Amino acid sequence: MSEKSTSRPLAVFDIDNTLADTGHRQHFLERRPRDWTGFFGAAPADPPLARGVALAVESAADCEVVYLTGRPERCRADTLDWLARHGLPEGRLWMRGNQDRRPARTTKLEVLGRIARGREVRMLVDDDELVCRAARAAGFRVVQADWAGDAPELESAQEVEGRT
């Protein structure tokens, strides 16, 4: 790793409903039981959210961009392909373990703490209000992504089922 990359501050971006519009796949979460295979299987077709993508690209001028998602590890290849296909800056991708069902605010704050060791985190950009609140309480600068449509089933899944 170059000295430049380790000395630059970090800009940490969530993916779902921050960079990627999950609206077209919400119907998989409205069923009982929820169809997680269908929900994550449809992720490669997510349209990009212009405001989130622009902020990530803009941030890359001064920061090292990294991605912190609640998506499970089994979605890594599709997620990396999606990021590259939509012109997002290269950066490390932090994902939830395949069996990790803890709330997003717990898993993401744990990983954010690891990411921040010895590095300045300039900002966390995330759409989940509870993740944002927990990150602010931990002393991080947060930009809450409010540019995606409401996703009540996704919010429930993040907090109750620990799935994304």
**Strand ranges, E, within 26-97:** 64-72, 93-96
User: With contact defined as beta carbons under 8 Å apart, do 17 and 145 qualify?
Assistant: yes
pTM: predicted TM-score of the whole model, two decimal places: 0.88
Burial tier of 10 (Cβ tally within 10 Å: 0-12, 13-18, 19+): buried
CA trace torsion 38, 41, 42, 47 (10° rounding): 150
pLDDT of residue 133: 97
**DSSP, residue by residue, 83-117:** HHHTTPPP--EEEE-TT--S-HHHHHHHHHHHHHT
Burial tier of 25 (Cβ tally within 10 Å: 0-12, 13-18, 19+): buried
Q: Check pLDDT > 80 for residue 154.
A: no
Q: For residue range 70-80, list pLDDT tens digits in order.
A: 999 999 999 99
Q: Check pLDDT > 70 for residue 152.
A: no
